[in-house]
Amino acid sequence: MPERTPSGNLIGVLISGRGSNLVAILDRIDAGDLDARVALVISNEPSAAGLAAARARGVPTLALDHRKCATREDHDREMARALEAAGARLVCLAGYMRLLSGWFVDRFKGRILNIHPSLLPSFPGTCAQRQALESGVRISGCTVHFVDENVDSGPIVLQEAVPVLDGDTPESLEKRILEAEHRVYSRAIALYFSGSLRITGRRVLGATPAG
């Protein structure tokens, strides 16, 4: 079988931990379902399991411990240098547990995606699954959105709904939402590289067939 030409759709992925969304993206690329390549994975936590998972698949990685940088912007400037050197056209946050500086958001304006385990704008921030359970909603889910200067804010690209069941715990809900996350993130990345997305105010057009 002829080798596939390496994709020019280069992604930089930022993580802090487990990296299951990163692995799901790599799986979709390897399966030929997503025309992209992960050019670099950066973690602010040197012990992140996702770094080891990326290395095991031959993906370049960089551990950039934020505690060793004087300011948030210093850390972000180092990340930006590495991402740009790797040729990343899109930055995907996948469980990256730090706020980005305004400088970084501006540098990659309109080129940063994040995934969040709720139907935003409900339940931003940490423990989104617990927040959903405590609020009594019957439906939660996940959201892929462009990143702006605020937390879990920014124009929404795709969402997938997940039912909240009577017996759910934060853990069981997290597991079910995570399965949806693994589907939806790659679809959003494919849409981004297709060039069909247009940000108009808070709305992203071009993500649905009618767009």
Residue 145 lies near ligand GRF (rule: CB under 6 A): no
Rule CB under 6 A: say whether 168 interacts with ligand GRF.
no
CB atoms within 10 A of CB 72: 16
Residue 116 annotated to the active site? yes
Q: How far is the CB of 141 from ligand GRF (least distance, A)?
A: 11
Identify whether the C-beta of residue 118 lies closer than 8 Å to the C-beta of residue 126. Answer: no
154 touches ligand GRF by CB under 6 A: no
Question: 20-30 vs 49-56: helix axis angle to the nearest 10?
Answer: 20
Q: Does position 152 bind ligand GRF by CB under 6 A? A: no
Selected range binding ligand GRF among 73-81, 111-119, 156-164, 199-207, rule: CB under 6 A: 111-119
Stretch that binds ligand GRF, among 11-19, 32-40, 77-85, 196-204 (CB under 6 A): 11-19
Cα 182 to chain centroid, rounded: 10
The answer to whether residue 143 forms part of the interface with ligand GRF (CB under 6 A) is: no
28 binds ligand GRF (CB under 6 A): no
Min CB(210)–ligand GRF separation in Å? 27
Asked if 115 touches ligand GRF (CB under 6 A), the answer is yes
List strand residue ranges (DSSP E) for 66-194, in order: 90-93, 112-116, 139-146, 156-163
Q: Counting contacts by CB under 6 A, is residue 61 touching ligand GRF?
A: no
| Active-site residue identified among 66, 75, 116, 182 | 116
The minimum distance between CB 3 and ligand GRF, in angstroms, equals 29
Residue 28 class from Cβ within 10 Å (0-12 exposed, 13-18 middle, 19+ buried)?
Answer: buried
Paired tokens of 193: 């590289």
Binding site for ligand GRF (CB under 6 A): 15, 17-21, 50, 94-95, 115-117, 178, 181
